[in-house]
């Protein structure tokens, strides 16, 4: 049968645009594969959760209005304080968009079919995780970076030149290999070639995508990334800070910082002379939302222009939690803003293309706190600036064409998250 246009685009790009809707479904694995030439992201390593095989009853697939009423009734005896009321109001504003987007997904039967196989659907690749050697525990870059040894650690980049002719015929013949050593911490490590490069540190191996770089450091060193000239600044700045949220499980995964630390992030100094689109991931805690809107964006010189929602679903299309569950919403917010090095007057604002409000990004979550790759959804909002210069702050992975900064930007670049082409 002829495949719908939307579906065949999705198979290539990882992005499915629902018709007449402001919602998209994305498969991060397919999106990220666009960054790699000799490797592929392993679907089974990317999706450790939400692929339970037991079929769900029909009623739990749709967020039914009955369960909503029941939840509301349960909450009645407890009267909401002002902050909870504000959070509830925000939720009620987003609710219709989220429900509509979810309906689009549930109606897209061919896509749902594909989704259920997305974890194993490796398109002629070997099963995921084939590169991992089970005896090697993953390095904790956060700990190593704090150690007095940190300045002495080096990473080996293994540049291999393949015979292109043979690659096309399906077999690869290595022509030569050149190894380069770089300090691992507080240093910009670059792969300027157009191909993936293998890297080695202690006993682990990593994949560095083509035309990408990382700077692994603590927040204190972030100023090293500020370009000497504003034309070398960034047009897209994605930030996913380690917000404190009090959950014990979060604390054990990565260190968090009190909100005031983020006030000094040099967003304006990182901004390109033509301006930047800033995309900030926030949690649903009302206190945090207030802080961002009243203090943080002001301190950064960012003007909030739109809010996107990341709606999280399981492989069967159902929401990961009831939409109305107060403390465990099945969505997170991405706040978008404009930043300019000069004061934001009407002339510089006119350079920005307006961002459409309330867009919904649907995906199946990967590992804990891992965000879907949104870069591919945003370029239309800064057509003036090309080629786009992108940076991710507090990154745990790398993307072709991007700079990744954080105290563990190689975390998801470990061989165990990839298969070889
Ligand atoms: N966006 C990432 C992803 O999709 O995987 C998740 C980022 S996570 C919310 C925040 C990151 O900030 C963690 O990797 C954490 O180790 C890092 N971090 C915490 N404290 C830091 C510090 N002082 N300096 C630099 N990075 C820090």
Condensed to tens digits (0 to 9), the pLDDT of residues 127-163 reads: 444 555 444 556 799 999 999 999 999 999 998 876 6
**Which pLDDT value is given to residue 1?**
45
Q: Which residue has the higher pLDDT, 249 or 180?
A: 180
E-strand spans in 18-65? Answer: 23-26, 39-41
Ligand 1 atom closest to Cα of residue 370: 4
Give the span between the Cα atoms of 146 and 143, in whole angstroms: 5
Ligand 1 close to Cβ of residue 36 (< 6 A): no
Ligand 1 close to Cβ of residue 254 (< 6 A): yes
Give the span between the Cα atoms of 419 and 174, in whole angstroms: 18
Note the pLDDT tens digit of each residue in 357-392: 999 999 999 999 999 999 988 877 765 566 689 999
Ligand 1 close to Cβ of residue 394 (< 6 A): yes
pLDDT band per the 50, 70, 90 thresholds, residue 282: very high
Burial class (CB in 10 A: 0-12, 13-18, 19+), 252: exposed
Ligand 1 atom closest to Cα of residue 257: 20
Give the span between the Cα atoms of 213 and 399, in whole angstroms: 9
Q: Residue 141 C-alpha to ligand 1 middle, in angstroms?
A: 11
Ligand 1 close to Cβ of residue 372 (< 6 A): no
**Which pLDDT value is given to residue 381?**
77
273-299: burial string, b at 16+ Cβ within 10 Å, e else: bbbbbbbbbbbbbbebbebbeeebbee
Ligand 1 atom closest to Cα of residue 371: 4
E-strand spans in 313-401? Answer: 331-339, 360-363, 390-393
Q: Is the pLDDT of residue 75 over 90?
A: no
Ligand 1 close to Cβ of residue 275 (< 6 A): no
Q: Residue 258 C-alpha to ligand 1 middle, in angstroms?
A: 13
Query: pTM of the predicted model, to two decimals?
Result: 0.89
């Amino acid at each position: 049968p002829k495949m719908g246009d939307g579906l065949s685009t999705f198979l290539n790009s990882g992005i499915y645009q629902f018709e007449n809707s402001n919602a998209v479904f994305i498969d991060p694995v397919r999106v990220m594969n666009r960054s790699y030439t000799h490797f592929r992201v392993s679907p089974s390593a990317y999706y450790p959760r939400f692929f339970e095989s037991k079929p769900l009853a029909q009623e739990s697939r749709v967020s039914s209005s009955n369960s909503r009423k029941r939840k509301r009734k349960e909450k009645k005896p407890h009267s909401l304080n002002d902050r909870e009321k504000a959070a509830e109001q925000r939720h009620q504003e987003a609710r219709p968009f989220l429900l509509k987007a979810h309906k689009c997904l549930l109606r897209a039967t061919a896509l749902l079919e594909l989704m259920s196989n997305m974890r194993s659907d490796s398109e002629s690749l070997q099963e995921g995780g084939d590169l991992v050697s089970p005896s090697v525990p993953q390095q904790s870059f956060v700990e190593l970076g704090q150690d007095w040894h940190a300045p002495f650690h080096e990473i080996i980049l293994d540049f291999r030149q393949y015979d292109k002719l043979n690659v096309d015929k399906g077999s690869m013949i290595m022509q030569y290999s050149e190894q380069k050593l770089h300090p691992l911490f507080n240093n910009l490590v670059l792969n300027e070639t157009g191909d993936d490069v293998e890297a080695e540190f202690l006993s682990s191996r990593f994949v560095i995508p083509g035309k990408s770089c990382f700077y692994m450091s603590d927040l204190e060193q972030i100023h090293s990334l500020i370009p000497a000239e504003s034309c070398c600044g960034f047009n897209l700045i994605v930030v996913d800070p380690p917000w404190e949220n009090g959950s014990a499980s979060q604390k054990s995964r990565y260190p968090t910082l009190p909100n005031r630390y983020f006030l000094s992030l040099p967003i304006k100094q990182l901004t390109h002379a033509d301006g930047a689109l800033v995309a900030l991931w926030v949690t649903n805690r009302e206190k945090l939302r207030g802080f961002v809107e009243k203090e943080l964006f002001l301190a950064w010189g960012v003007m909030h222009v739109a809010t996107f929602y990341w709606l999280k679903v399981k492989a069967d299309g159902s929401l990961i939690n009831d939409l109305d569950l107060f403390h465990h919403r099945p969505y997170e917010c991405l706040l978008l803003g404009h930043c300019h090095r000069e004061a934001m007057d009407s002339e510089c604002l006119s350079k920005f293309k307006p961002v459409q409000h309330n867009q919904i990004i649907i995906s199946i979550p990967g590992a804990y706190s891992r965000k879907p790759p949104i870069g591919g959804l945003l370029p239309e909002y800064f057509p003036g600036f090309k080629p786009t210069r992108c940076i991710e702050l507090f990154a745990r992975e790398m993307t072709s064409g991007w700079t990744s900064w954080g105290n563990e930007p190689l975390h998801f670049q470990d061989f165990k998250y990839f298969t070889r082409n």
